């Protein structure tokens, strides 16, 4: 038996529950009502992909080394309603 490790992102849904994403295996996107359920769903999905690939003689996917960054976006304030297209000072 071999052990495989994969990075999994768990993103909470506003309405509850979690989405699980596996960057190394992009076809996996699953979810659960709780973090533990989402974790188990991700494990099951990874296991299915690996077992299926091994049966077909495909290589086992390597874990991805994703980079996580906080990106700041600056947006200029929108003009007040009714001021669009009017020259300044009028």
Q: What is the pLDDT of residues 15-60, one digit of tens each?
A: 999 999 999 999 999 999 999 999 999 999 999 999 999 999 999 9
CA distances from 39 to 4, 6, 53, 90 (A): 15, 12, 21, 60
- 38 backbone dihedrals φ, ψ, rounded to 5°: -65, -40
| 18 class by beta-carbon count within 10 Å (0-12 exposed, 13-18 middle, 19+ buried) | buried
pLDDT of residue 68: 83
> And the tokens for 83?
């001021």
Does the structure show a pLDDT above 80 at 89?
no
Q: Give the pLDDT mean for 7-19.
A: 96
- Stated pTM of the model: 0.74
């Amino acid at each position: 038996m071999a052990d495989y490790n994969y990075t999994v992102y768990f993103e909470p849904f506003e309405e509850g529950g979690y989405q699980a994403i596996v960057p190394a295996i992009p076809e996996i996107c699953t979810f659960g009502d709780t973090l533990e359920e989402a974790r188990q769903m991700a494990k099951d999905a990874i296991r299915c992909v690996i077992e299926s690939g091994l049966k077909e003689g495909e290589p086992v996917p390597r874990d991805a080394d994703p980079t996580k960054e906080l990106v700041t976006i600056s947006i200029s304030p929108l003009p007040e309603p009714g001021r669009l297209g009017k020259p300044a000072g009028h």
